[in-house]
Structure 1
Amino acid sequence: MSLRERKKQRTRAELQRHALRLFRDQGYAETTVEDIAAAAEVSRSTFFRYFGTKEDVLLFDNVDPVMYRMMAAVPEGTPLLEAVRRVLRDSFASLGEEARELEEVRMELARTVPAIAAILRERNAFGLEEIAGIVGPATGRTPDDSDVLLFSGILMGVRLAARARMDAGRGERIVEELDDLLGRLASGVPLAGEPVRRPAEA
């Protein structure tokens, strides 16, 4: 990556940091692009050079690149599910305290702001391709391998289940929910061997 590209990434991350602070402190709807630009001490036009809309600030994921690098560095022979859990935990642990808090803010708003949630639902298919693009090379298979796609789909299901638990008020931190649900997969897919039962008639 060139020096120019690294500088752009740092500026984008800094703009997002100021935006997430404002979203946390005064609310997403109440925060304007002008507020974000002023907090970052840049012009409105500079903001739009890095983000097309206010929504794009939430869609920008600064943690995924860290996870990709960590996944590529996992020791050979590590069981895949263990590797996924380790990378998830370590990537968030590598962030500073404020960065972890703001990432939680970002994920919470991405889950609860209707416009953002709709965009993420539309991108689910791309999410599968992205995950398969990591799982395939990590297992020595191609991204379109049936088992790679199946495992990648299961990981997407884990993400959806974690969000559902958060929506139901059954969890406090999305990262902890993801780790807990991934841990349950260690003994197999839950309910896969469970017999079908009919409700008792009154």
Structure 2
Amino acid sequence: MAADPLLAGQPRMGLRERKKRKTRLAIRRAAHRLIAEQGYQATTVEQIAEAAEVSPSTVCRYFPAKEDIVLTGEHELVVESVLRSRPADEEPLESLRHLLVESVRAVLADDPEEMRQRTRLMVEVPAVRARMTETMAETSGLLSRALAARSGRAADDLEVRIVTAAVMGALREVTIHWAEHGQRDDLVALVDRTLDVLKGGLALRPAPAGGRAGAVGP
């Protein structure tokens, strides 16, 4: 498997961090397998802990809510440092484009079924969808601080917050759109095109002749 372009640029993990990552992966994989077998609601934290061979308290220490287990991946843990590592003169929107497109590409390459299950749950389970909105708001705050630091702005700069919030909101909508339409389209291409819509000042292209209303794909 090719090296992950996002994680590859991060500092090498020590033994303790590698053990933590191994535990997180075991918990997530156990959760996804159980959910695929018996559904989200029927799957308990206790069952996930048993399948991952850890205690329920360990699951809760790594993932405070059950929803976090299916929503949090390894890339979400490094987004701020990845963004800070981008060229200082790069436009903020292009830095965010790199981060999001490469993150989605890496997840799909590493475990496409996990991404498919995650997005199906976003559509089907209100608690997962609500938690996704919360975690995206938290991520938007991290990215805002990283962009503000790069540009010498205040950490709570309004313009930076608007840019990052718009991008994260767009990511939420394109992800849900992909799931609602059977996950048929190329999600990486959809994310890239979504960023083009923002870059173009939210201008709508003419609807394609004979195309379905609301289509985002090429």
**Deviations, residues 87-140 of structure 1 (Å, cap 9, x unaligned):** 222223344744343134224323431122233445665454233123212333
- Return the structure number with greater relative CO, CA threshold 8 A, min gap 6: 2
- Structure 2 match to 1:185: 198
- Structure 2 match to 1:159: 171
Aligned length: 191
In structure 1, distance between residues paired with 2:150 and 2:36: 37
Residue ranges of structure 2 left out of the alignment (5+ in a row):
1-12, 205-218
**Deviations, residues 152-178 of structure 1 (Å, cap 9, x unaligned):** 232133134324534653864655433
Select between 10-19 and 169-178 the one with higher mean Cα deviation. 169-178
In structure 2, distance between residues paired with 1:170 and 1:139: 40
| Greater C-alpha Rg | 1
- Structure 1 match to 2:29: 17
Is contact 1:104–1:174 with CA below 8 Å preserved after alignment? Answer: no
1:103 aligned residue (104, 115, 120) = 115
Q: How does 1:1-202 map to 2 (within 5 A)?
A: 3-95=15-107, 97-121=109-133, 126-163=138-175, 165-166=177-178, 168-169=180-181, 172=184, 175-190=188-203
In structure 2, distance between residues paired with 1:148 and 1:41: 43
AA matched with 1:13: L
- Alpha carbons of 1:112 and 1:134: their partners in 2 closer, same or farther (altered >3 Å)? farther
Is contact 1:128–1:149 with CA below 8 Å preserved after alignment? Answer: yes
Identity of aligned residues (%): 34
Shift in Å, 1:188: 2.3
Select between 19-28 and 114-123 the one with higher mean Cα deviation. 114-123
Length-normalised TM-score, structure 2: 0.68
Is contact 1:15–1:36 with CA below 8 Å preserved after alignment? Answer: yes
In structure 1, distance between residues paired with 2:105 and 2:133: 27
- Alpha carbons of 1:75 and 1:33: their partners in 2 closer, same or farther (altered >3 Å)? same
Length-normalised TM-score, structure 1: 0.73
Residue ranges of structure 1 left out of the alignment (5+ in a row):
192-202
Select between 159-168 and 129-138 the one with higher mean Cα deviation. 159-168
- Alpha carbons of 1:153 and 1:52: their partners in 2 closer, same or farther (altered >3 Å)? closer
AA matched with 2:201: G
Shift in Å, 1:19: 0.9
Is contact 1:21–1:102 with CA below 8 Å preserved after alignment? Answer: no
What SS is found at the alignment partner of 2:147? helix
Shift in Å, 1:75: 2.5
